[in-house]
Structure 1
Amino acid sequence: MLAPISWRVPPRHYGPWEQFVSLLTEGLVRRGVDVTLFATADSITSARLVATAPTGYSEDPGLSPKVWEALHISAVFERAAEFDLIHNSFDFLPLTYSDLVDTPVVTTIHGFSSELIVPVFEKYNARGHYVAISDSDRHARLDYVATIHHGIDMDQFEPGVGPGDYLLFFGRIHPEKGTLEAMDVAEKAELPLIIAGIIQDQDYFERFIEPRLDGERVTYVGPVGPDRRRDLLAGARALLHLVSFDEPFGFSVVEAMACGTPVIAHPRGSMPEIVRDGVNGFLVGSLEAAVVGVRAAASLDRTRVRASVERRFDSNRMVDDYLELYHRVVALDHARRAGNVA
């Protein structure tokens, strides 16, 4: 299992790719799968851990990302012959090693940071075994072996007692994530807003977000780890997820619903695959519609909100899906090698 090394596995607060790796790795180990996890040295896992980088380079500015990524990826492929399969959760760079080894490589594509990276995926398309994390995120020029939605540990999230008295923004603070829009909706809905997440765009935060923070109507609580996440999500009237890009998945959306908290989202990217309008939230086309959705959210059955994601987005279902895929890929690889021998 090849993890990113921006953050440790599992992440202390932000780190959706690392969170995915942790949930899948631990689930596989519980099923009796022999997993070697390539991640940062401070990672916590029940798998066999192999590390090069001491910690995530986003946590230690003294680490050079390119240097440690090169060392990290090479460590996996230098030992490729030891494994039945390599699961790449690192993005496109490891694909450039994949034709140099016989071991099949499954790559979970966590979205496309830019169209500029697509040529790498295209080059290795024939043997890439690509997995999309939502149907909406499938690229038209690539072939996929499966769409497998992420899962979460449902036991870590429980429904709150009822509609809370605040709205919640939970995610990285960046213009495309809709932090400012969430503030506008909360103001129009006359409800307090709590903002939680890392500041990814400092200029955006300082110019548009920070001047409106007053600790009462709008409060910023910083990055929130697992110890506070459940209570914050469960206590909200609704989660505002008014992104302006095609969101490939959205862990916070599913986590909120697992707590019984409805989600108000634009119908972009994977949101129509997750949000069931009028059941676990509302898909809205404008900020005015979002305000209407906020008011309607109080009447939604929070037990039903939880039930809408309980099976679909449980990590055990995700592990089942990947195990089935691994068996299929390994069988295809054996058939390919037999054909080559013949």
Structure 2
Amino acid sequence: MRILLIMNPGIPVPPLLYGGIERIVYLLAEEYHKQGHQVTLLAGTGSHCSGTTITFGADNAKRSKVAGYQEILFVWKFLWGNHQKFDLIHNFGRLIYLLPVINKPVHKIMSYQREVSVKGIKLITSLPVKNLVFTGCSNYCVSTGNVSGKWATVYNAVNFSEYKLTEEFDEHAPLMFLGRLDKIKGLHTAIEVAKATSSKLWIGGNIPSTADNYAYYKEIIEPQIDNKQVIYLGELNDRQKNNYLGKAKALLFPIEWDEPFGIVMIEAMACGTPVIGFDRGAVPEVVDEEVTGNVVSTKNQMIEAVGKLGTINRRACREHARDRFNIGRIARAYLELTANNIGR
């Protein structure tokens, strides 16, 4: 099969540090290639994959609106002139990219990793549409946009071969928080849980740049970082994440918003490290109770769950997560959405 993968510019594919969607796109490109498909990646400057890579736009998350319009025109021109060369166009970028081919026979998957704009879905599906499937990375994500069109849930994945199982843990091992240090990620709660359980807390993630979240970091979080009990590790690359997650006794995921997935949860599970997360967004879909972690509703319940970590088998945690979230399975799930019709 000839597959075109599309991603917005702003962060290269694969990302060096932060970039969850970009990481998924790269894993899919590599897996599609591994499965014998001809892969073309259309993504921002600095991107690469084992197939063919075509770059456009600037790797700058704060690029101007004019740059955004130029990116749309680039993709439109490329798709108009090249869509017949592909059996499947798999778009993780902006929905508007697909406009020139929306009524063309080529099969199209529009994949969402965040809350969906219902307005955009209604507009696109009001047009003559052919061979288009929408996907969300969780049932919760799908529920935000499933107002018309054909929808399916396809979960996110990691490459489990890149993560090392740490089967045993010391009860004095640190807890871990990994993600953007925005208020909605709940780092303040993770710190409170660590202190209440006399645990160290390792913090990995990027300091926010928006004014409100930067103020949250400076006023609420930074004063509590003593590098003894509460330790800020900075932004972590894949090797560092593997190391710290494996040595942690649990990943805390005390989100204060409806997270569409949360890839860091399955990164932790891939190391055998259970996840204790708040019951919001996709957390109850990703975490299997007492197998890969615990889903809780309050800070006190999170504190209680920390005391019960010894009941979770870390090898079983990894194996269960691998059965559900390995990249091979996820890539096949995407292709099965169109495989019955391609070639007819």
Kept in 2: contact 1:160–1:234 (CA 8 A): yes
Kept in 1: contact 2:142–2:151 (CA 8 A): no
The letter for the 1-side match of 2:89 is I
Kept in 2: contact 1:95–1:121 (CA 8 A): no
Instruction: Output aligned runs, 1:160-175, within 5 Å.
Output: 160-164=166-170, 165-175=173-183
Q: Find the partner of 2:59 among 46, 56, 60.
A: 56
The letter for the 2-side match of 1:104 is H
Matched, 1:209 2:213: no
CA distance in 1, matches of 2:167, 2:196: 25
Structure 1: tracts of 5 or more residues without a match: 335-342
Kept in 1: contact 2:252–2:275 (CA 8 A): yes
Instruction: Report the counterpart of residue 139 of structure 2 in structure 1.
Output: 135
Kept in 2: contact 1:168–1:238 (CA 8 A): yes
CA distance in 1, matches of 2:56, 2:271: 37
The structural deviation recorded for 1:24 is: 0.6
Q: Find the partner of 1:252 among 258, 264, 268.
A: 264
Instruction: Report the counterpart of residue 239 of structure 1 in structure 2.
Output: 251
CA 1:302 to 1:268, structure 2 compared with 1: closer, same or farther past 3 Å?
same
Kept in 2: contact 1:121–1:142 (CA 8 A): yes
Structure 2: tracts of 5 or more residues without a match: none
Further displaced range: 120-129 or 95-104: 95-104
The structural deviation recorded for 1:102 is: 4.7
CA 1:132 to 1:296, structure 2 compared with 1: closer, same or farther past 3 Å?
same
Matched, 1:123 2:123: yes
Q: Residue 181 of structure 1: SS of its match in structure 2?
A: helix
Matched, 1:146 2:152: yes
Instruction: Report the counterpart of residue 81 of structure 1 in structure 2.
Output: 84
CA 1:212 to 1:70, structure 2 compared with 1: closer, same or farther past 3 Å?
same
Tell me the TM-score normalised to structure 1 length.
0.88
CA distance in 2, matches of 1:291, 1:76: 53
Further displaced range: 70-79 or 245-254: 70-79
Q: Residue 136 of structure 1: SS of its match in structure 2?
A: helix
Q: Residues 72-126 of structure 1: CA distance to partner in whole angstroms, max 9, x if unpaired?
A: 533542322322221110143324444375533210011216xxx3211122236
The letter for the 2-side match of 1:178 is G
Instruction: Report the counterpart of residue 71 of structure 2 in structure 1.
Output: 69
Q: Residue 36 of structure 1: SS of its match in structure 2?
A: strand
Q: Residue 6 of structure 2: SS of its match in structure 1?
A: coil
Q: Residues 318-337 of structure 1: CA distance to partner in whole angstroms, max 9, x if unpaired?
A: 11112212324536xx5xxx
Instruction: Report the counterpart of residue 26 of structure 2 in structure 1.
Output: 22
Matched, 1:13 2:17: yes
Q: Residues 197-238 of structure 1: CA distance to partner in whole angstroms, max 9, x if unpaired?
A: 122332221121111111111111121111211111101010
Further displaced range: 64-73 or 322-331: 64-73
Matched, 1:181 2:184: no
Instruction: Report the counterpart of residue 337 of structure 1 in structure 2.
Output: none
Kept in 1: contact 2:121–2:147 (CA 8 A): no
CA RMSD of superposed structures (Å): 2.2
Q: Residues 3-47 of structure 1: CA distance to partner in whole angstroms, max 9, x if unpaired?
A: 122211111011111111001111011111111110123112111
Kept in 1: contact 2:107–2:338 (CA 8 A): no
Instruction: Report the counterpart of residue 302 of structure 1 in structure 2.
Output: 314
The structural deviation recorded for 1:262 is: 0.7
CA distance in 2, matches of 1:239, 1:148: 23
The letter for the 2-side match of 1:3 is M
Q: Find the partner of 1:312 among 319, 324, 328.
A: 324
Matched, 1:289 2:301: yes
Identical pairs, percent? 27
Kept in 1: contact 2:39–2:52 (CA 8 A): yes
Instruction: Report the counterpart of residue 7 of structure 2 in structure 1.
Output: 3
The letter for the 2-side match of 1:70 is I
Instruction: Report the counterpart of residue 93 of structure 1 in structure 2.
Output: 96
The letter for the 2-side match of 1:260 is G
Instruction: Report the counterpart of residue 265 of structure 1 in structure 2.
Output: 277
The letter for the 2-side match of 1:202 is Y
Q: Residue 223 of structure 2: SS of its match in structure 1?
A: helix
CA distance in 2, matches of 1:300, 1:185: 19
The letter for the 2-side match of 1:121 is I
The structural deviation recorded for 1:303 is: 0.9
The structural deviation recorded for 1:250 is: 1.2
Q: Residue 190 of structure 1: SS of its match in structure 2?
A: coil
Tell me the TM-score normalised to structure 2 length.
0.88
